[in-house]
Amino acid sequence: MMTTNDHVDVLVIGGGPGGTPAAMALGRAGKHVMLVEAGRGLGGTCLFEGCIPSKIFRETAARRHEIVRAGEFGLRLGSSDLPGIDWAAVQSRRDRILSGRAQGALAHTEAMPSLDVVFGRARLTGARTALVETPDMQRTVTFDRAILATGSVPASLPIPGAELPGVIDSTQLIEIDAIPRSMVLIGAGPIGVEMAQIFAMLGTRVTILEVADRILGPVDAVLAGRLEKRLVQDGIEVHTKATVASITGDRGSHVTTFSVGGKEMTAETEVVAIVAGRRPNVAGLGLENTQVLSDKNGVIVDDTLQTGEPGIYATGDLLGNPMFAHWATAQALAVARHLLGAPVEFPRPEHNSAVIFSYPEIGMVGLTEEAARAGGLDVGVSEYDYKGDARAQISGDADGLLRIVYAPDSRRVLGVHVLVEGAADLMGEAALAVRVGSTVEDLASTIHPHPTLTEAFGLAALAVGGRRRE
Ligand SMILES: Cc1cc2nc3c(=O)[nH]c(=O)nc-3n(C[C@H](O)[C@H](O)[C@H](O)COP(=O)(O)OP(=O)(O)OC[C@H]3O[C@@H](n4cnc5c(N)ncnc54)[C@H](O)[C@@H]3O)c2cc1C
Ligand SMILES: NC(=O)c1ccc[n+]([C@@H]2O[C@H](COP(=O)([O-])OP(=O)(O)OC[C@H]3O[C@@H](n4cnc5c(N)ncnc54)[C@H](O)[C@@H]3O)[C@@H](O)[C@H]2O)c1
């Protein structure tokens, strides 16, 4: 096997949203960068196993659901017009989009002469050295700085039977070769809820088992409560406070035994998917050869995302919660600016935004009411019910609620939480408002176009009343 020695300014390990943008920003600035990616292309979990394929499935499921509702919109379909599902075609559409995006990212990197992308696996062998292994080469790399962005992997659960063939995780669910007739999902975080609705809309009988007392723990409780009711109305069986005791059976036929409030129950399904969180991917990274420290939540970093080993930084899922692609990228870009000596504001959790691609979608930015109160903050909350909203009525999705969390004294908007189909594309304004410290008066006096879902921001802010801007 061939061996080489290289020296780079910055070694970036992991080509997902937490690694690639940093490598590109540094490469664009002329730094000599090596980006090492162990998977099948640039894009990480988000592209190959996460955000993008799951939303591609959702698109198919939601479009089918729209056709099911055609009659509401005055569209008459013949009795046999309900579309069948060509799952192989859905998977090939997914593959086309994924490979196009991975190739696009690679083409961007190829246009940067000082950025070298290596498809292989990297392991730190010291504070300034790493071994990079590709199928045909071993490269010893020395570096001035490194960014660790190896992401996360599905967490397993210590449940008897969790290791049985056919008990799958979210990565395998994304690759599933047929729509199952029935499925248990263990965990009702973003993955559990999104997958439950996607597969339910595609015709799977879905049961959710969640150990906590409600679905979507960190999400605004009022919105999560409304969504939980919606899941049940849409035919999904939801058990919260559920303790899973065991899984038995074989591929294609499983019995999950669980208890709720002391009452033992079983669910017989074709598939059982464990979607109960992800853990930072530190395995095989060689952290023991450095002063980089990690605990069960992930790699430990300071305010500049520097690890315990000076000069080695870490970003994204490797740092534990929150785990979002845009959060990982915001961190990656901040570290890149920091290494370039440019002024930088490191991303702050209270400015982060996120969307759960449930049906209806939940968009969120900043503090929830519960988090604010738990932190001893006195907050006001203004609500707007989409029931009376023109746009929501037109689109036939008026089951929704907007909640604005604000500081009663400064009137600053601290959080915006929205449940409505279309929420995903509303969150830019909300994120900006929280980030720049807008007041409820700023939102109230912004002219929002009619009829759109964004009018709700102005109307909810107006409802707060009180001071108006002079
Ligand atoms: C089903 C699902 C749906 C999701 N949906 C969304 C969503 O809609 N929106 C959202 O914001 N987030 C979503 N996420 C979360 C999102 O995917 C992650 O937060 C994001 O991918 C984290 O980026 P990262 O770069 O930190 O890690 P990753 O994307 O995991 O990338 C890490 C990369 O490092 C590589 N690697 C690992 N070890 C090595 C090594 N030793 N050497 C070289 N390379 C290595 C891996 O191959 C991988 O490509 C979803 C996740 C899942 C599982
Ligand atoms: N739209 C998005 O942005 C999106 C979508 C999917 C995933 N993600 C990210 O990916 C990460 C992983 O998602 P996730 O949903 O797997 O994790 P999560 O940690 O957010 O949720 C896991 C859920 O599983 C439950 N759980 C844990 N152990 C259990 C057990 N033994 N029995 C039953 N329930 C149990 C937890 O109480 C929790 O509700 C999250 O950080 C999330 O932010 C984001």
Can you give the pLDDT at residue 469?
46
Can you tell me whether residue 74 is helix, strand or coil?
coil
Can you give the pLDDT at residue 2?
82
Can you give the pLDDT at residue 82?
75
Strand partners, 259: 243, 264
Whose CA is closest to atom 49 on ligand 1?
44
- CB-based burial label for 238 (10 Å; 0-12, 13-18, 19+): buried
Identify the CA nearest to 327 among candidates 105, 17, 10.
Answer: 17
CA distances 68 to 62, 116, 345, 424, Å, are 10, 49, 47, 23
Mean pLDDT for the stretch of residues 349-361: 97
How confident is the model over 362-389, as pLDDT tens digits?
Answer: 999 999 999 999 999 999 999 999 999 9
How confident is the model over 318-341, as pLDDT tens digits?
Answer: 999 999 999 999 999 999 999 999
The helix (H) or strand (E) run that includes residue 130 is strand 129-134
Lookup: tokens for 332: 């990656």
Whose CA is closest to atom 19 on ligand 2?
277
**pLDDT higher than threshold 90 for residue 187:** yes
Can you give the pLDDT at residue 467?
55
Mean pLDDT for the stretch of residues 192-203: 97
- Going by pLDDT thresholds of 50, 70 and 90, the confidence category of residue 80 is low
Q: Would you say the CB of residue 353 lies under 6 angstroms from ligand 1?
A: no
Handedness of CA 82, 84, 87, 91 (dihedral sign): negative
**pLDDT higher than threshold 60 for residue 236:** yes
- Work out whether strand 129-134 and strand 33-37 pair parallel, antiparallel, or are unpaired: unpaired
> Ligand 2 centre from 424 Cα, in Å?
19
Can you tell me whether residue 441 is helix, strand or coil?
helix
Can you give the pLDDT at residue 465?
77
**pLDDT higher than threshold 60 for residue 274:** yes
Q: Which residue among 108, 338, 417, 450 is the active-site one? A: 450
**pLDDT higher than threshold 50 for residue 215:** yes
Contact present, 271 and 305 (Cβ < 8 Å): no
Lookup: tokens for 17: 């949203």
89: CB partners within 8 A, 6+ apart = none
Higher-pLDDT residue of 80 and 124 is 124
Give the whole-angstrom CA distance, residue 20 versus residue 46.
Answer: 12
Lookup: tokens for 144: 């001035």
**What number of other Cβ atoms are within 10 A of residue 436's Cβ?**
11
Contact present, 232 and 143 (Cβ < 8 Å): no
How confident is the model over 96-149, as pLDDT tens digits?
Answer: 999 999 999 999 999 999 999 999 999 999 999 999 999 999 999 999 999 999
Q: What angle do CA 429, 424, 366 make, to 5 degrees?
A: 55
> Ligand 2 centre from 273 Cα, in Å?
12
> Ligand 2 centre from 215 Cα, in Å?
10
Give the whole-angstrom CA distance, residue 291 versus residue 312.
Answer: 9
- Going by pLDDT thresholds of 50, 70 and 90, the confidence category of residue 208 is very high
- Going by pLDDT thresholds of 50, 70 and 90, the confidence category of residue 470 is very low
Give the whole-angstrom CA distance, residue 64 versus residue 68.
Answer: 6
Mean pLDDT for the stretch of residues 61-87: 88
Can you give the pLDDT at residue 77?
85
Work out which ligand 1 atom sits closest to the CA atom of 323.
19
Portion of the chain with pLDDT greater than 90, in percent: 94
Mean of per-residue pLDDT scores for the chain: 96
Can you give the pLDDT at residue 209?
98
Identify the CA nearest to 410 among candidates 458, 384, 377, 376.
Answer: 377
Active site residue 417: no
HSE-CB at 170 with a 13 A cutoff on CA atoms is: 31
Q: Would you say the CB of residue 49 lies under 6 angstroms from ligand 2?
A: no
- CB-based burial label for 366 (10 Å; 0-12, 13-18, 19+): buried
One-letter amino acid identity for 351?
A: H
Q: Indicate whether this model's pTM tops 0.90.
A: yes
Q: Which of 13, 45, 152 most suits a substitution to test ligand 1, by most atoms within 8 Å of the C-beta? A: 45
- Work out whether strand 353-356 and strand 401-406 pair parallel, antiparallel, or are unpaired: unpaired
Contact present, 282 and 318 (Cβ < 8 Å): yes
How confident is the model over 157-169, as pLDDT tens digits?
Answer: 999 999 999 899 9
**pLDDT higher than threshold 80 for residue 430:** yes
- Going by pLDDT thresholds of 50, 70 and 90, the confidence category of residue 79 is low
Lookup: tokens for 367: 């503090």
Q: Would you say the CB of residue 444 lies under 6 angstroms from ligand 2?
A: no
How confident is the model over 10-19, as pLDDT tens digits?
Answer: 999 999 999 9
Can you tell me whether residue 205 is helix, strand or coil?
strand
Strand stretches in 187-283, DSSP E: 205-209, 237-239, 242-250, 253-260, 263-269, 271-274, 278-280
Domains (range + CATH), the chain: 2-153+279-347 (3.50.50.60), 167-276 (3.50.50.60), 350-462 (3.30.390.30)
Can you give the pLDDT at residue 284?
96
> Ligand 2 centre from 9 Cα, in Å?
37
Ligand at shortest distance from the CA of 20: 1
**pLDDT higher than threshold 80 for residue 404:** yes
Work out which ligand 1 atom sits closest to the CA atom of 14.
34
Angle between helices 87-110 and 51-68 (to 10 degrees): 140
